[in-house]
Every structure is written in structure tokens, then in C-alpha cells.
Structure 1
Amino acid sequence: MRPALPACLVVLILLGGEASARPHSLGIAVPTGESTIAYDMNGAGQVAAVLEDGDGNTRGVLFEKGKITDLGSRGGMHSDARGINDRGEIIGSARNKDGTWNAFLFHRSSGMRVMGTLGGPSSYGMGINQEGISVGFADIPNGDWHAFINHGGGQLQDLGTLGGNISYASGINKHRHVVGTAANADGYRHAFLYTAERGMVDLGTLGGRQSSAMAINDNGLVVGASETKDRRWRAFMHDGKRMVDLGALIGNYNSFATDINNAGHVVGTVMVGSERMSFVWLDKKMTVHRGGQGLHLTNAINDRELVIGATYDHGMTAATMASNAAAVITRGGSELLTLIASVLTLAGLAVLYHLRNRGIEMTGSGS
């Protein structure tokens, strides 16, 4: 992929009811009142998902060919599953009886393999690559959270911070390059890229105070969200040289990129007033799917061009949709803004950057 985005862009928005564009339920059978959310899907169609009952108790599962495999627990009432690689290894976290958490790796043949911590009581698993190298965050003895990488042994490696007191790792590629969010010396949280050669590098912002990196592909392209000068949040792609504002292709709304595949296709969420929409940046085109037409939660995109997440209708339902789902072509960004404004009732633009179950909550200014 070229290092910089082309100047000439085509912007798309889905407004109609084309059946081919709608998400498809994964068909995870659960009791009435229970919700399901898909977090990732590998090339073999195995899904890392979370089920939630009516009391709010969650459990991470492997879903494959109509069958649910519970990942197990540590005696507590909660577990989750954040990612899965092509070997069928799942990264997740489980709550212990005493309320602490442990990151774990799960494989159907070996079961749950619990990770340690960085000296504090808890750890959380967030991302995994095809080799089974995992990342996440854990508390250190003083109670602060630090990003970690687990190279396959029992010991977690502390990735440090950008000069502040906290950091969170959220994604890793085949080169063991890690992305996430870390506080700087001023207490503001910035997106970071960590490599063994350079350590933790600040990726900056789109002119605002804060940013957060959520995923990285094997070509080194990083995606996430950044605050702008006017205190809005915009989805971004970092090409190794600069942070590119993908949200500007959608309009002056809050947008958050959540994942990128190896083809450089990006997915995420757009908030317009109270309406949550999903977007796909695919082959130099931006497609936005209205609420109810696309996924409500857009968690991942795999190399089979399936967007993974959940729909919402009186509860979450794990679902996927094709990345190239049909859309109506408009002439560009200005027409898109007019079109959105004409069909939505704007209810205010105060937005919480809480990508539900992605582990990082971005509120306020940092510490």
C-alpha cells in the first residue's frame, strides 16, 4: 500500500435496505435474553466471542461450525475472548474468585494457559499474532497499568510508557510490533508503536491532546482514533511517517477505527448524535453504513474480508458482514455531510470514546 493516501477520494454511504448489505448473524444459539458479541474470526471461520447473560455475567467462547466451546474460568463470573489466530489460539482474560483477572491463551487441544502479571494482582490479554505472541496490559506493584508482550514463556515483558504512569497494548503483527496507548509526561494519552529496536514511539495526534492506537497489520499500518484541535475524535491511519485523518472523509463527526487487515482495509464506528454507524475504508473508498443497516459493534476485519462484531436489537447478536457490502455512491465528502444532516436529528456531539469491550476507555485528559 502507498505510504500516503491519494488526494482524489470516493466517499460512499449506505442509506437503503439492500439485503446483501445487511449483517448476517453467526447463529450462536443462546438462551432468551442472553447477548453475543464476536470479537475476531480467523481464516478457518473459528470465532472468538463473548456471551453475556441477563445478570451481566460474561464468558469467553470459541464458536466453530455451530458449536460453542466454553474457554473456562478461574472461579469467577466473567471471562472474555479478544482475538484468535489461524492456529486457533485465543487471547482473553478471566476473573478469579478474589476479583482479580488473569490474561490467558486458549487452544482446544491444551485448554486455558494462564499468564502471570507485572507484579500486581491482574493482567488482561488483548491481542495475538499468528505465532501465538500476545499482548495486553497488567498492573505493576504500585497499581499503575503497563503494556506487556508475552513472547511465549511465562514471563511478561513490561513495555514501559511514554513518560507517564500508564500504558495499554491492544494489537501486534507478525514482526512483533506492538501498538496501544500510553501516557506521556504531561499525563495525556497518545497512540504508540513499540518495536524491539526503537522501544516505545509516540505516534502523535491529529492536533488534539490525545490519541489511541487499536491495531496494526503486517505491513506496519496502524489505526486508531485521535482527538483534533476542536476536541472531536477522528479515525486515523498511521503509515509509518504521518497520521492520516480517515475521519475527515466522513465529516465533522466522532469516528474511531478499530481494526485493519493485511490488505489495508480499515473498519470502525461513527457517532452522529445518538446514532452509531459503522464504516469500512476499502480500496480508497469510504463506506458508511447507517445504524440498523451495518454492525452496531465493529470489532475486527479479517483477511477473508469479513467485518466482525455485533448487531443490536433488544440485545447484542454476534454477526459479520462483507467488507464490500453494497452502497449508494455519492459525489464526495460535502454531499455526504449534507445527506447525513438531512436524514438525522442531531442530538449533540458529546461522545465517549469507549469501544465497548476493547479494553481502553478514553475520557478526560489522561491520567
Structure 2
Amino acid sequence: MVKHALALAAAALLQAGTAVAAPAYQVTQLSPDGTTRWTHLNNAGAATGYLGGQGYVRAADGQLTAIPQLSGQPTAITAFGDNGAVGLMRMEEGPPQNVQETGLWRSGLVEALPTLRTTPDGLGYGVVNRISGNGLLAGTSAVNGGFYDEYGNLIPYTHAATFRNGQVQDLGTLGGSVSMGYGINDSGTVVGFSLDASDARRAFIHRDGAMQDLGLADDYVAFDINNAGQVLANSGTSAASAVIWRDGATTTLSLSGYTFSDASAINNRGDVVGRLFAPAQSSAAFLYSDGEMVLLADLLTQPGWTIREVTDINDSGTILGVGCQGIDCSWVLLTPVPEPATWGMLGAGLALLGLVARRRHRPG
């Protein structure tokens, strides 16, 4: 009898775990569309974005903290970490669009980032594009050399790089003059793109001290990687979908009725968010989870909402994006909520386990 009860309890808990894999989502409005843009979401539930051109961190409780502007000028947010660190970059207005200043803001202070460029021409910089869960920094640095744009301005070459303790490490290239780092995980594996010896753009992974071509089409860029080694890459064309690459195998993120997809982020559970596109149709936001592509609009608990855009997802499954009710749109958080059936099965399983425990401890 005890074994039978344990089996029933285990089955109930297993069914509950299965139900959690595709949660419903509750919509919470953040702000009207057009006046803000929220770009990054960390595992503490905090987000970064802009209000009237000024960068802010929005804590999980809604409290806003202004991010310093570099030299008092409009400053872009390039990365956001679980430790609260924020990557910053200021561009020159108009051509040649050179990076003028970069930094890392944490604990109330702005830290200047080192550069690989030693030529004393004022064009050297390093910029952080991703902060891993344990605080590792990956991005791009200017290096010596460059090319002249159509206006005669010198644009420095760049290499993918990591930053640590005031030092910058050059990750090299796949044989060309330019590479850029866009993602890093807790083991220090970096992904991005590099020009090869023929100047073709190739997605790469850098691990164990070496840069490897992912073998994707020329226009793909690897921009995110999780701790399981799943790499997220987007195509630069309008005809090819986003893919997940892992150890040489690729999964295409596609759904019947849509022409191609564009991904935004992957979390450590392997969940991916992004948008699907089809001719003469508005884009539709998707969630890829446990091998299944689902339209986010089909998972919402409140009727009348559509999701137009998504920018990030954290490890708890919370999603940052733009939601619309008709023509009225706003930035929203989508928070996973357990299905009623899930709670019922969990309750049944726990009740059975409790019954077993009581019978085991019954006197006599």
C-alpha cells in the first residue's frame, strides 16, 4: 500500500512538473510606448532602459535609478548584469559614428574600460556587450589599423575581447581584420562574429583559448550563449530564421505560416524569445521552450492583449517586451504563473506523500 501511494504521489508530481513547462503569463504594464524603451532584464527582476533619452535601472519593485551620462551626452546602454553593473557607450553624432567614450557603471561609479589600440589618435576604446551571471565581461575593443569611410574618416578595426581587473584580452579573429564579441556565459565562453580571410562574416564561438567558426551561413551573427553552451544566432537577411547552435548541431526557430524569425535572448533553461514575420502581416512575438514554438499571445491570462516585441527573458521565465490592446501599446513584463491544474496536482502529490508519512509513523 505504501509503495502504491508513493507511486501515485510521484506520478502527480511528475504531471505537475510537465504542466509547468508551458506556463501562462500575466501582463504587467511598465510605461507607454514611445516615451521609453526597456532593453535588458536580469535575474533579480531589474530592467534597464530609457526615459526621455536618460538611462535608468528599474528595480523589481519599480524604483528607478538614473544611470550617469558619459560627458553629459546621450549614452547607450550596452549590457546589464545580475550584479547591477551596466555597460555604457557614447557615439559621435553624425558621420563617422565613431565610439567616443565607453564605461562600466557599478556601485555608483563609472569605470573606464581598457583598449587594445595603442595608436595615440584618440580612437581607442573597449565596450562591454554582455555580462555573464557571475560577472564576466565580453565585448569589443578597437585595435591598431583601420579603414577610411566614404567621408574620409578613419574607422578603427575591432577585435572581440574580454575585460577583467582593468585588463583587456584580445580574442583574435578567424583570419580577417575585424571581430566583435556579443555574448559570454559563466564558463567564459564567448560568441560573436568575425571576418574570415576572404572578408566573409562568420559566427564564432571562443572557448579553450581558440576561436571556432560555427559553420552557419555567412550573414549569421552569434549574439547570446547560455551556461549549457546553447548559442543563439540571427541572420542578417530577411529570408532566414534564427537558430540555436550547440556542439555542431543547429535547431531552426520557425513556425508554420511565418517566413522567418528573429530572436532576442536565450536563458539558462534554453527558453528563447523573439519575433516571427510573414508577408503583409504584423510581427508576432514567440516563446521557444522544451522544443516547442508558441505565440506569446496564446499564453496570456488577460484577454485582448497582443505582444508586438520582446527584448529579453531571464532564468525565471519573466519576459520584457511591448504589449498592445488594440492600438494602445506599452512596455510590459510577462510573468509566468502556474496553471490551476498544476497547483491541484502538486497538492494531490503532497497530500499523498503526507499520508504515507503518517502511516509510517502510526503507533503499534
Identify whether the pair has TM-score above 0.5, normalized to the shorter chain. Answer: yes
Q: 1:148 aligns with which of 157, 161, 165?
A: 161
Instruction: State the 1:238 CA deviation.
Output: 0.8
The answer as to whether partners of 2:323 and 2:331 remain within 8 angstroms in 1 is: yes
Q: Cα–Cα, structure 1 residues 304 and 312, in superposed 2: closer, same or farther, change >3 Å? A: same
Change (3 A) 1:227 1:67: closer
Which of 111, 114, 127 does residue 113 from structure 1 map onto? 111
Q: Does 1:216 align with 2:216?
A: no
Q: Deviation of residue 311 (structure 1)?
A: 4.4
| d(CA) in 1 for partners of 2:272, 2:337 | 12
Residues 1:233 and 2:240 aligned together: yes
2-side partners of 1:202 and 1:316: how far apart?
Answer: 40
Aligned mates of 1:33, 1:260 — CA distance in 2: 24
Q: 2:55 aligns with which of 47, 53, 60?
A: 60
- What's the CA shift for 1:165? 2.2
Which residue identity does 1:215 align to in structure 2?
D
Return the offset for 1:45. 1.9
Does structure 2 conserve the Cα–Cα contact (< 8 Å) formed by 1:280 and 1:323? no
Tell me the distance in 2 between the aligned counterparts of 1:99 and 1:325.
48
TM-score using structure 1 length: 0.69
1:47-103 CA distances to partner (integer Å, 9 max, x unpaired)?
A: 12233x3xxxx3322112322212112225321224333222222323579974333
Answer whether contact 1:164 1:187 (CA < 8 A) is retained: yes
Q: Distance in 2 between matches of 1:315 and 1:50?
A: 19
Matched residue of 2:45: which SS? coil
Q: What is aligned with 2:185?
A: 173
Is residue 94–residue 104 contact of structure 1 (8 Å, CA) maintained in 2? no
Secondary structure (helix, strand or coil) at the match of 2:219 reads: strand
After TM superposition, give the deviation of residue 325 of structure 1 in Å. Answer: 10
Structure 2 length normalisation: TM-score? 0.70
CA–CA distance in structure 2, aligned partners of residues 322 and 22 of structure 1: 5
| Gap change, CA 1:84 and 1:173, over 3 Å in 2 | same
In the TM superposition, residue 181 of structure 1 has moved relative to its aligned partner by: 1.5
**Alpha carbons of structure 1 residues 118 and 188: separation in structure 2 relative to 1, 3 Å:** same
Query: For residue 47 of structure 2, what is the amino acid of its counterpart?
Result: V
Q: CA deviation at 1:39?
A: 2.1
Unaligned runs of 5+ in 1: 1-19, 327-367
Secondary structure of the corresponding residue to residue 39 of structure 1: strand
Amino acid at match of 1:46: A
- Aligned match of 1:201 in 201, 205, 212? 212
Task: Identify the match of residue 261 of structure 1 among 255, 267, 270.
Answer: 267
- Matched with 1:244 is 251
CA contact 2:272–2:289 (8 Å) conserved in 1? yes
From 304, 307, 321, the counterpart of 2:334:
321
Determine if contact 1:36/1:310 at 8 Å carries over to the other structure.
Answer: no
**Does the 8 A contact of 1:49 with 1:82 survive in 2?**
no
Return the index of the structure with the highest Cα Rg. 2
**Counterpart position of 2:40:** 40
* Number of aligned residues: 290
State the Cα deviation string for residues 183-233 of structure 1 (Å, max 9, x = none): 2222222211111x241111121xx432111211111111112479xx722
Could you tell me which runs of 5 or more consecutive residues in structure 2 were left unpaired when the two chains were aligned. 1-23, 118-122, 147-155, 299-303, 340-364
Change (3 A) 1:48 1:25: same
Q: Is residue 128–residue 172 contact of structure 1 (8 Å, CA) maintained in 2? A: yes
Q: More helix by proportion, 1 or 2?
A: 2
Shift of 1:319: 2.3
Q: Please give the secondary structure, in 1, of the residue aligned with 2:129.
A: strand
How far apart, CA to CA, are the structure 2 residues paired with 1:325 and 1:50?
31
Q: Is the 8 A contact 1:37 1:317 kept in 2?
A: no
Q: For the structure 1 residues 110 and 321, does the alpha-carbon distance in structure 2 shift closer, same or farther, using more than 3 Å as the test?
A: same
Query: CA separation in 2, counterparts of 1:293 and 1:33?
Result: 14
SS in 2 for 1:137: strand
Residue 353 of structure 2 corresponds to which residue in structure 1? none
Q: Specify whether residues 59 and 122 from structure 1 end up closer, same or farther in structure 2 by C-alpha distance, changes over 3 A only.
A: farther
Structural RMSD (CA)? 3.1
1:152-209 deviation per Cα after TM superposition (whole angstroms, max 9, x unaligned): x2222222222222222111100011111222222222211111x241111121xx43
Code of the residue aligned with 2:28 in structure 1: it is: H
- From 21, 26, 33, the equivalent of 2:30 is 26
Cα offset, 1:46, TM superposition: 1.6
CA distance in structure 1 between the partners assigned to 2:328 and 2:179 by the alignment: 32
